[in-house]
Structure 1
Amino acid sequence: MSEFTDFEAALSTERFGAYMLSCDNDRSKAMDLYTLNTRVSASLYAPLQALEVTLRNRFHHQLSEAYGEDWYDQHGVITQLFQRQKILSAQVDLAASQKQLTPGRIVASLTFGFWTSCLSFTYDDSLWRRGGLSKAFMAGGEKPNRKSVNRVLTPIRQLRNRIAHHEPILYFDLPKHHRNILMVTHWLMPIAAEWAAAHSTFASTYYRTIAAQMLKPAAREEVRRT
């Protein structure tokens, strides 16, 4: 029992409390659920990596064709304040590391949230149409519109951020998100989606343990707050 108490302290009472609530305060079961959440999170790494890397590279390619390789520094291209701050932060960090401020390094330093924000209504004309981002999603033969892409990517970004911050994800409709991750990656570049599907361990991890049924509905709001 002491080892569970020690581990609970390491996680924080609030965070581990969500698992305890789901398991009727059974610490052993809560630990199993926490471990399962970790394994399922890890199983989504390859698909999320394929999507994020492919998305940023496809966007960079299209925006470079439209506005030049340093499109992120061109006046009027990226206008949202938080995105401007992300660009500046990347440049400052690279300069502090005495690295050359090349487009490739700057692009690689920008967050998934930066890239998905390029699909907001603000950029419907400047990035989606004139910037060519609509073309980025046609490699798989589809022609999705900006709203539909944004609608799918927003919850994927939220899921990705929860995984990155080691938060509970079992209450998500994970099979749906896994399918959507592969689907959007296919829109961007089919070969990347094939790689992600080949190296994804999600199905074997998730369905073998029936993770979707292990988190009680009563615990979901508690989980969302942790």
Structure 2
Amino acid sequence: MKIVDYISQERLATFEGFTDTQDRAIILHNHTLQLGSSLMSMIALFELALRNSTNHQLVTDFGDDQWLLPGSTSIPLKPFEVKAQKTAVRHARKAAYSKLSYKEKTYLDAFAYPGGVPSGASHDEKARERQKLFVVSHGQVISQTTFSFWKRLYSGDYAGTLWKKSLKKVFPNKDIERSDVARALEVVYATRNRVAHHEPVYGVRLGEAMDALKFLRDTLGAKRAENPSEFQKFSRIQYLRLRMDYESFQEVWNTLT
């Protein structure tokens, strides 16, 4: 097989549109993947920090450290987030179930089916019923939530209920508006999804992603722009690597296109 066959002609066509030879297109493609790796690393750190900072602030302000568990009504979530919450609970139960041995899993049938396992029950049906027995912790549910869930808490739908009362403190700089955070989160979310599917990020989209990440990194937990925040310290190496790969990509882009 040729190199282009490993990449696919359809995928490489994007880069051939910017270069004058296939070899240059391949080089540009590979540099895009390297940049994507650094983007994903930085986004992963931010996503982790965002969900934990947001959770901490909501627990502090609403007084409920179990707000993501079934039955809790302390946080006024919208239908979309309620659905996402239930999905996270199911995934947390599934993750806990997957750690059991076959013998331990079948042992649960006595509790899932007190009257006996129905003769026609499939493997998947039995697994779902067994998983319902698990009581998962708030932390286990948090680990199964998506970036989409947390960014939605900063949307206009929660401006009056969460932002003013609580989440403004996650981004405490008085010059920062909720809409500024929401826009940046949308850009980072879209970038994350593209990189996760090995889609290229370049041009205007790349510039917007870099600006959004810098803004969020500089403002998460920071009251003033001039002082290094704890998150800036925490993410320093990943951000330096991202900047290095970004500069390298820009140089290659300018040379090959």
Determine if contact 1:50/1:196 at 8 Å carries over to the other structure: yes
In 2, the alpha carbon distance for the partners of 1:108 and 1:124 equals 25
Determine if contact 2:24/2:256 at 8 Å carries over to the other structure: no
Structure 2, unaligned runs of 5 or more? 98-133, 222-228
Match of 1:65 among 60, 63, 73: 60
Q: TM-score normalised to the size of structure 2?
A: 0.71
In 1, the alpha carbon distance for the partners of 2:190 and 2:148 equals 9
Give the structure 1 partner of residue 232 of structure 2: 193
Structure 1, unaligned runs of 5 or more? 217-226
Determine if contact 1:171/1:212 at 8 Å carries over to the other structure: no
SS in 2 for 1:23: coil
1:109 matched to 2:144? The reply is: yes
Q: CA deviation at 1:108?
A: 1.8
Match of 2:19 among 20, 23, 42: 23
Q: TM-score normalised to the size of structure 1?
A: 0.80
Give the structure 1 partner of residue 167 of structure 2: 133
Match of 2:43 among 38, 45, 48: 48
SS in 1 for 2:235: helix
CA offsets 1:162-192 (integer angstroms, 9 cap, x no match): 1122111022453553353243233223122
Superposition pairs of residues 1-226 of structure 1, within 5 angstroms: 2-9=1-8, 13-24=9-20, 26-67=21-62, 68-72=64-68, 73=70, 74-75=72-73, 77-81=76-80, 83-97=81-95, 98=97, 100-130=135-165, 132-138=166-172, 141-172=173-204, 174=206, 177-189=209-221, 190-200=229-239, 201-209=241-249, 210-211=251-252, 213=254
Could you say if the C-alpha distance between residues 205 and 96 of structure 1 is closer, same or farther in structure 2, counting changes exceeding 3 Å? closer
Determine if contact 1:137/1:143 at 8 Å carries over to the other structure: no
Q: CA deviation at 1:55?
A: 0.7
Q: CA deviation at 1:20?
A: 2.3
CA offsets 1:123-174 (integer angstroms, 9 cap, x no match): 11111123x0111111xx5551211111222112111221122111022453
Q: Which amino acid aligns with 1:78?
A: L
In 2, the alpha carbon distance for the partners of 1:115 and 1:178 equals 20
Could you say if the C-alpha distance between residues 152 and 79 of structure 1 is closer, same or farther in structure 2, counting changes exceeding 3 Å? same
In 1, the alpha carbon distance for the partners of 2:244 and 2:52 equals 30
Q: Percent of pairs identical after alignment?
A: 22
In 2, the alpha carbon distance for the partners of 1:198 and 1:179 equals 18
Aligned residues: 207
Determine if contact 2:89/2:136 at 8 Å carries over to the other structure: yes
Q: Where in structure 1 do 4 or more consecutive aligned residues deviate above 6 Å? A: none
Q: Which has the larger radius of gyration?
A: 2
Give the structure 2 partner of residue 224 of structure 1: none
Q: CA deviation at 1:117?
A: 0.8
